[in-house]
Amino acid sequence: MYRKTFSAALFSITALHLCGCATRHTASEAAAAPYTGPRITLHAAPGTNAIADLSDERTTSAIAFLNARRAELGLSALASDPLIAKAAQAHASYLEVNRAAGHEERAGLPGFSAADVTARVRLHTQTAGASEVFAVYGGQRAPALPIEEIFDSPYHRGAMLYDWGRAGEAVASGNSQIVVVDFADPQPAIGATELVAYPYNGQKDAPLAWQDIEQPDPMGPDTRYRGAILGYPITLSGGTNAHIELATFDLRDPHGKKVRCQIAPLTAADAGRNTAVCTPFSPLRPHTTYSVRATGLLTQQFGVANAPFDLEWSFTTSAAHARSWLQQPHA
Protein backbone atom coordinates (compact mmCIF):
# COMPACT_ATOMS: atom_id res chain seq x y z
CA MET A 1 0.00 0.00 0.00
CA TYR A 2 1.25 3.45 -0.88
CA ARG A 3 0.74 6.33 1.49
CA LYS A 4 0.74 10.02 0.78
CA THR A 5 2.98 11.83 3.24
CA PHE A 6 1.93 15.44 2.97
CA SER A 7 2.53 17.59 5.99
CA ALA A 8 -0.51 19.64 6.90
CA ALA A 9 1.47 22.84 6.51
CA LEU A 10 2.26 22.07 2.90
CA PHE A 11 -1.23 22.90 1.79
CA SER A 12 -1.44 26.40 3.17
CA ILE A 13 -1.17 29.11 0.54
CA THR A 14 1.24 31.88 1.30
CA ALA A 15 -0.30 35.25 2.03
CA LEU A 16 -0.27 37.54 -0.98
CA HIS A 17 1.99 40.54 -0.67
CA LEU A 18 -0.48 42.94 -2.26
CA CYS A 19 -3.73 44.54 -1.27
CA GLY A 20 -6.15 41.66 -1.70
CA CYS A 21 -8.32 41.80 1.39
CA ALA A 22 -11.98 42.62 1.18
CA THR A 23 -13.60 45.13 3.46
CA ARG A 24 -16.04 43.52 5.88
CA HIS A 25 -19.55 44.91 6.14
CA THR A 26 -22.10 44.22 8.83
CA ALA A 27 -25.62 42.98 8.14
CA SER A 28 -27.02 46.35 9.26
CA GLU A 29 -24.80 48.19 6.78
CA ALA A 30 -25.99 45.92 4.00
CA ALA A 31 -29.60 46.54 4.96
CA ALA A 32 -29.03 50.30 5.07
CA ALA A 33 -27.50 50.35 1.60
CA PRO A 34 -29.16 47.70 -0.58
CA TYR A 35 -27.21 46.61 -3.60
CA THR A 36 -28.36 48.25 -6.83
CA GLY A 37 -25.39 47.46 -9.05
CA PRO A 38 -24.98 45.04 -11.97
CA ARG A 39 -25.88 41.37 -11.62
CA ILE A 40 -23.16 38.92 -10.61
CA THR A 41 -22.61 36.30 -13.31
CA LEU A 42 -20.45 33.27 -14.01
CA HIS A 43 -17.33 33.87 -16.06
CA ALA A 44 -17.95 32.13 -19.40
CA ALA A 45 -15.92 28.92 -19.76
CA PRO A 46 -15.23 27.86 -23.37
CA GLY A 47 -14.30 24.31 -22.29
CA THR A 48 -11.85 21.93 -23.91
CA ASN A 49 -12.37 23.50 -27.34
CA ALA A 50 -10.10 26.29 -26.11
CA ILE A 51 -7.18 23.87 -25.81
CA ALA A 52 -5.48 23.33 -29.15
CA ASP A 53 -3.86 20.00 -28.28
CA LEU A 54 -4.92 17.79 -25.37
CA SER A 55 -2.62 14.92 -26.28
CA ASP A 56 0.13 15.65 -23.78
CA GLU A 57 -1.11 18.53 -21.62
CA ARG A 58 -1.50 16.16 -18.66
CA THR A 59 2.04 14.84 -18.83
CA THR A 60 4.16 17.93 -19.43
CA SER A 61 5.03 20.74 -17.05
CA ALA A 62 2.97 22.05 -14.16
CA ILE A 63 2.53 25.36 -15.96
CA ALA A 64 1.30 23.58 -19.11
CA PHE A 65 -1.29 21.75 -17.01
CA LEU A 66 -2.42 24.97 -15.33
CA ASN A 67 -2.62 26.82 -18.64
CA ALA A 68 -4.83 24.05 -20.03
CA ARG A 69 -7.19 24.43 -17.06
CA ARG A 70 -7.10 28.22 -17.39
CA ALA A 71 -7.86 28.00 -21.11
CA GLU A 72 -10.89 25.81 -20.43
CA LEU A 73 -12.11 28.49 -18.03
CA GLY A 74 -11.46 31.39 -20.38
CA LEU A 75 -8.60 32.77 -18.28
CA SER A 76 -5.33 34.16 -19.60
CA ALA A 77 -2.27 31.93 -19.79
CA LEU A 78 0.60 32.09 -17.33
CA ALA A 79 3.91 33.04 -18.93
CA SER A 80 6.60 30.54 -17.98
CA ASP A 81 9.45 32.61 -16.53
CA PRO A 82 12.90 31.06 -15.89
CA LEU A 83 13.72 33.80 -13.38
CA ILE A 84 10.72 32.89 -11.22
CA ALA A 85 11.68 29.24 -11.67
CA LYS A 86 14.99 30.06 -9.97
CA ALA A 87 13.09 31.26 -6.91
CA ALA A 88 10.97 28.10 -6.93
CA GLN A 89 14.09 25.93 -7.27
CA ALA A 90 15.77 27.68 -4.35
CA HIS A 91 12.81 26.96 -2.10
CA ALA A 92 12.51 23.36 -3.31
CA SER A 93 16.17 22.83 -2.43
CA TYR A 94 15.71 24.48 0.96
CA LEU A 95 12.76 22.20 1.75
CA GLU A 96 14.71 19.14 0.66
CA VAL A 97 17.91 19.79 2.57
CA ASN A 98 16.12 20.87 5.76
CA ARG A 99 13.21 18.43 5.50
CA ALA A 100 11.11 21.51 6.05
CA ALA A 101 7.42 22.20 5.57
CA GLY A 102 6.31 25.74 4.93
CA HIS A 103 6.57 28.74 2.65
CA GLU A 104 8.87 30.70 4.94
CA GLU A 105 12.63 30.12 5.24
CA ARG A 106 14.78 30.66 8.33
CA ALA A 107 18.03 32.58 8.01
CA GLY A 108 21.04 30.50 9.00
CA LEU A 109 19.65 27.19 7.77
CA PRO A 110 21.30 25.46 4.78
CA GLY A 111 20.00 26.70 1.45
CA PHE A 112 18.37 29.86 2.85
CA SER A 113 17.64 32.36 0.08
CA ALA A 114 14.96 34.73 1.46
CA ALA A 115 12.31 34.62 4.14
CA ASP A 116 9.18 34.57 1.95
CA VAL A 117 8.12 33.93 -1.63
CA THR A 118 7.93 37.59 -2.67
CA ALA A 119 11.45 38.23 -1.37
CA ARG A 120 12.72 35.09 -3.11
CA VAL A 121 11.18 36.10 -6.45
CA ARG A 122 12.55 39.65 -6.10
CA LEU A 123 16.07 38.26 -5.89
CA HIS A 124 15.68 37.44 -9.57
CA THR A 125 13.00 39.77 -11.00
CA GLN A 126 10.82 42.68 -9.95
CA THR A 127 7.20 41.96 -9.10
CA ALA A 128 4.26 43.72 -7.43
CA GLY A 129 3.28 40.52 -5.60
CA ALA A 130 3.87 36.78 -5.48
CA SER A 131 2.38 33.54 -4.26
CA GLU A 132 3.37 29.90 -4.02
CA VAL A 133 1.97 26.39 -3.91
CA PHE A 134 3.90 23.22 -3.29
CA ALA A 135 3.63 19.62 -2.17
CA VAL A 136 6.02 16.99 -0.81
CA TYR A 137 5.68 13.28 -1.50
CA GLY A 138 7.64 10.68 0.42
CA GLY A 139 8.06 6.93 0.44
CA GLN A 140 7.22 4.84 -2.59
CA ARG A 141 4.32 6.87 -3.94
CA ALA A 142 4.83 9.78 -6.30
CA PRO A 143 1.95 10.86 -8.52
CA ALA A 144 2.36 10.94 -12.27
CA LEU A 145 1.36 14.60 -12.25
CA PRO A 146 1.69 16.22 -8.81
CA ILE A 147 0.26 19.55 -9.99
CA GLU A 148 -3.06 17.82 -10.68
CA GLU A 149 -3.34 16.75 -7.06
CA ILE A 150 -2.36 20.23 -5.87
CA PHE A 151 -5.04 21.68 -8.16
CA ASP A 152 -7.64 19.40 -6.58
CA SER A 153 -7.09 21.12 -3.22
CA PRO A 154 -9.62 23.95 -3.35
CA TYR A 155 -7.71 26.84 -1.79
CA HIS A 156 -4.66 25.98 -3.86
CA ARG A 157 -6.91 25.86 -6.92
CA GLY A 158 -8.08 29.38 -6.07
CA ALA A 159 -4.46 30.57 -6.00
CA MET A 160 -3.71 28.92 -9.34
CA LEU A 161 -6.80 30.47 -10.96
CA TYR A 162 -5.83 33.88 -9.60
CA ASP A 163 -5.00 36.77 -11.96
CA TRP A 164 -1.29 36.04 -12.15
CA GLY A 165 0.80 36.94 -15.18
CA ARG A 166 3.95 34.81 -14.74
CA ALA A 167 4.93 31.56 -13.07
CA GLY A 168 7.95 29.32 -12.55
CA GLU A 169 8.20 25.73 -11.38
CA ALA A 170 10.78 23.44 -9.85
CA VAL A 171 11.16 19.86 -8.65
CA ALA A 172 13.61 18.53 -6.06
CA SER A 173 13.92 14.76 -6.03
CA GLY A 174 15.85 13.23 -3.17
CA ASN A 175 14.33 11.10 -0.44
CA SER A 176 11.13 13.02 -1.18
CA GLN A 177 9.71 14.49 -4.36
CA ILE A 178 9.04 18.19 -3.91
CA VAL A 179 7.10 20.25 -6.42
CA VAL A 180 7.09 24.06 -6.10
CA VAL A 181 5.26 26.57 -8.31
CA ASP A 182 5.74 30.30 -7.75
CA PHE A 183 3.50 33.00 -9.25
CA ALA A 184 4.12 36.71 -9.79
CA ASP A 185 2.60 39.92 -11.16
CA PRO A 186 -1.11 40.31 -10.48
CA GLN A 187 -2.86 41.22 -13.73
CA PRO A 188 -6.58 41.80 -13.00
CA ALA A 189 -8.62 40.07 -15.68
CA ILE A 190 -11.69 38.53 -14.03
CA GLY A 191 -14.48 41.08 -14.01
CA ALA A 192 -15.57 42.69 -10.76
CA THR A 193 -19.04 41.18 -11.20
CA GLU A 194 -17.84 37.74 -12.35
CA LEU A 195 -17.11 34.49 -10.51
CA VAL A 196 -15.25 31.47 -11.87
CA ALA A 197 -16.80 28.06 -11.15
CA TYR A 198 -14.86 24.80 -11.09
CA PRO A 199 -15.99 22.30 -12.19
CA TYR A 200 -17.31 24.78 -14.74
CA ASN A 201 -20.67 24.98 -16.47
CA GLY A 202 -20.89 22.27 -19.13
CA GLN A 203 -17.73 20.44 -18.05
CA LYS A 204 -17.80 16.79 -19.16
CA ASP A 205 -14.89 15.27 -17.22
CA ALA A 206 -15.16 16.57 -13.66
CA PRO A 207 -13.20 14.46 -11.16
CA LEU A 208 -15.10 12.30 -8.69
CA ALA A 209 -13.11 12.47 -5.50
CA TRP A 210 -10.37 14.12 -3.50
CA GLN A 211 -8.41 13.33 -0.34
CA ASP A 212 -8.86 16.01 2.33
CA ILE A 213 -5.28 17.15 2.85
CA GLU A 214 -5.85 20.89 2.54
CA GLN A 215 -4.77 23.33 5.24
CA PRO A 216 -6.82 25.17 6.31
CA ASP A 217 -9.28 22.31 6.11
CA PRO A 218 -12.33 23.25 3.99
CA MET A 219 -14.39 20.81 6.08
CA GLY A 220 -13.68 22.94 9.16
CA PRO A 221 -11.10 22.76 11.95
CA ASP A 222 -10.66 19.58 14.01
CA THR A 223 -13.07 17.47 11.99
CA ARG A 224 -12.94 13.72 11.49
CA TYR A 225 -12.63 14.23 7.72
CA ARG A 226 -8.93 15.03 7.74
CA GLY A 227 -7.32 12.57 5.33
CA ALA A 228 -10.67 11.12 4.23
CA ILE A 229 -11.67 10.48 0.62
CA LEU A 230 -14.48 12.95 -0.12
CA GLY A 231 -16.32 14.24 -3.16
CA TYR A 232 -14.49 16.61 -5.47
CA PRO A 233 -14.51 20.17 -4.01
CA ILE A 234 -16.58 22.66 -5.98
CA THR A 235 -15.21 26.21 -5.98
CA LEU A 236 -16.24 29.74 -6.86
CA SER A 237 -13.29 32.09 -7.34
CA GLY A 238 -13.11 35.83 -7.88
CA GLY A 239 -10.52 38.28 -9.10
CA THR A 240 -7.69 40.14 -7.44
CA ASN A 241 -9.71 41.87 -4.71
CA ALA A 242 -12.68 39.52 -4.35
CA HIS A 243 -14.11 38.07 -1.17
CA ILE A 244 -16.94 35.53 -1.46
CA GLU A 245 -19.34 34.43 1.23
CA LEU A 246 -21.56 31.47 0.41
CA ALA A 247 -25.03 31.52 1.96
CA THR A 248 -26.49 28.36 0.38
CA PHE A 249 -25.12 25.68 -1.90
CA ASP A 250 -27.54 23.23 -3.49
CA LEU A 251 -25.96 20.25 -5.29
CA ARG A 252 -28.32 17.74 -6.91
CA ASP A 253 -28.05 14.54 -8.96
CA PRO A 254 -30.01 13.92 -12.21
CA HIS A 255 -33.03 12.72 -10.20
CA GLY A 256 -33.17 15.93 -8.21
CA LYS A 257 -31.83 14.27 -5.06
CA LYS A 258 -29.82 16.65 -2.93
CA VAL A 259 -26.15 15.73 -2.41
CA ARG A 260 -24.73 16.66 1.01
CA CYS A 261 -22.01 19.27 0.64
CA GLN A 262 -20.03 21.14 3.31
CA ILE A 263 -19.58 24.89 2.83
CA ALA A 264 -16.10 25.81 4.04
CA PRO A 265 -16.42 27.94 7.19
CA LEU A 266 -14.95 31.43 7.20
CA THR A 267 -12.61 32.70 9.89
CA ALA A 268 -10.95 36.05 10.51
CA ALA A 269 -8.01 34.82 8.43
CA ASP A 270 -10.26 34.35 5.41
CA ALA A 271 -10.95 38.07 4.83
CA GLY A 272 -8.68 38.12 1.77
CA ARG A 273 -9.49 34.68 0.42
CA ASN A 274 -10.82 34.87 -3.13
CA THR A 275 -12.30 31.34 -3.22
CA ALA A 276 -15.41 29.82 -1.66
CA VAL A 277 -15.70 26.04 -1.36
CA CYS A 278 -18.34 23.37 -0.96
CA THR A 279 -17.09 19.79 -0.58
CA PRO A 280 -19.40 16.78 -1.03
CA PHE A 281 -19.21 14.32 1.87
CA SER A 282 -18.91 11.34 -0.49
CA PRO A 283 -17.27 10.78 -3.88
CA LEU A 284 -19.42 11.75 -6.84
CA ARG A 285 -20.75 9.08 -9.21
CA PRO A 286 -19.08 8.54 -12.59
CA HIS A 287 -20.73 9.71 -15.82
CA THR A 288 -23.31 11.69 -13.85
CA THR A 289 -24.59 15.21 -14.45
CA TYR A 290 -24.93 17.34 -11.33
CA SER A 291 -26.69 20.66 -11.04
CA VAL A 292 -25.56 23.46 -8.73
CA ARG A 293 -27.27 26.52 -7.32
CA ALA A 294 -25.15 28.80 -5.15
CA THR A 295 -26.20 31.99 -3.39
CA GLY A 296 -24.19 34.45 -1.35
CA LEU A 297 -22.42 37.80 -1.32
CA LEU A 298 -19.48 39.12 -3.33
CA THR A 299 -17.41 42.05 -2.11
CA GLN A 300 -14.60 43.76 -4.01
CA GLN A 301 -12.25 45.91 -1.98
CA PHE A 302 -12.25 48.68 -4.58
CA GLY A 303 -15.70 48.14 -6.05
CA VAL A 304 -18.95 46.36 -5.30
CA ALA A 305 -19.82 45.58 -1.68
CA ASN A 306 -22.22 42.90 -0.49
CA ALA A 307 -23.37 42.19 -4.03
CA PRO A 308 -25.82 39.27 -3.85
CA PHE A 309 -25.43 36.42 -6.32
CA ASP A 310 -27.68 33.54 -7.29
CA LEU A 311 -25.84 31.31 -9.75
CA GLU A 312 -26.81 28.05 -11.43
CA TRP A 313 -24.70 25.69 -13.51
CA SER A 314 -24.18 22.00 -14.20
CA PHE A 315 -21.30 19.64 -14.91
CA THR A 316 -20.81 15.96 -15.73
CA THR A 317 -18.31 13.68 -14.03
CA SER A 318 -15.68 11.55 -15.71
CA ALA A 319 -15.36 7.77 -15.73
CA ALA A 320 -14.20 5.92 -12.63
CA HIS A 321 -11.28 7.77 -11.08
CA ALA A 322 -7.98 6.83 -12.66
CA ARG A 323 -5.89 7.62 -9.60
CA SER A 324 -5.44 4.29 -7.87
CA TRP A 325 -4.55 5.84 -4.51
CA LEU A 326 -8.14 7.10 -4.23
CA GLN A 327 -9.33 3.52 -4.17
CA GLN A 328 -6.97 2.50 -1.38
CA PRO A 329 -7.43 2.83 2.38
CA HIS A 330 -5.40 5.47 4.16
CA ALA A 331 -4.16 5.56 7.72
In whole angstroms, give the CA distance from residue 45 to residue 225: 31
Q: 213: pLDDT confidence band, cut at 50, 70 and 90?
A: confident
Chain segment 72-116, per-residue pLDDT in tens: 999 999 999 999 999 999 999 999 999 888 899 999 999 999 999
- Please tell me whether residue 299 adopts helix, strand or coil conformation: strand
User: What's the confidence (pLDDT) of residue 298?
Assistant: 93
How confident is the model over 52-68, as pLDDT tens digits? 654 454 557 899 999 99
Q: Are 91 and 105 in contact (CB under 8 A)?
A: yes
> Chain centroid to CA 324: how far?
22
Mean pLDDT of 202-215: 93
Q: Are strands 194-198 and 41-42 parallel, antiparallel or unpaired?
A: parallel
**Pairing assessment for the beta strands 130-138 and 176-186 based on DSSP bridges:** antiparallel
pLDDT band at 188 (very low <50, low <70, confident <90, very high): confident
194 touches 43 (CB < 8 A):
yes
Whether 276 has a pLDDT exceeding 90, the answer reads yes
Q: By mean pLDDT, which of 15-29, 45-59, 248-262 is the weakest?
A: 15-29
The answer to whether 12 and 270 have CB atoms below 8 angstroms apart is: no
* Other C-beta atoms lying within 10 Å of the C-beta of residue 82: 10
Q: Nearest to residue 238, comparing CAs of 24, 36, 27, 42?
A: 42
Q: 79 phi and psi, to 5 degrees?
A: -80, 125
pTM: 0.84
**Nearest one of 152, 69, 134, 177 to 321, comparing CA atoms:** 152
Domains of the chain: residue spans and CATH: 8-15+39-327 (3.40.33.10)
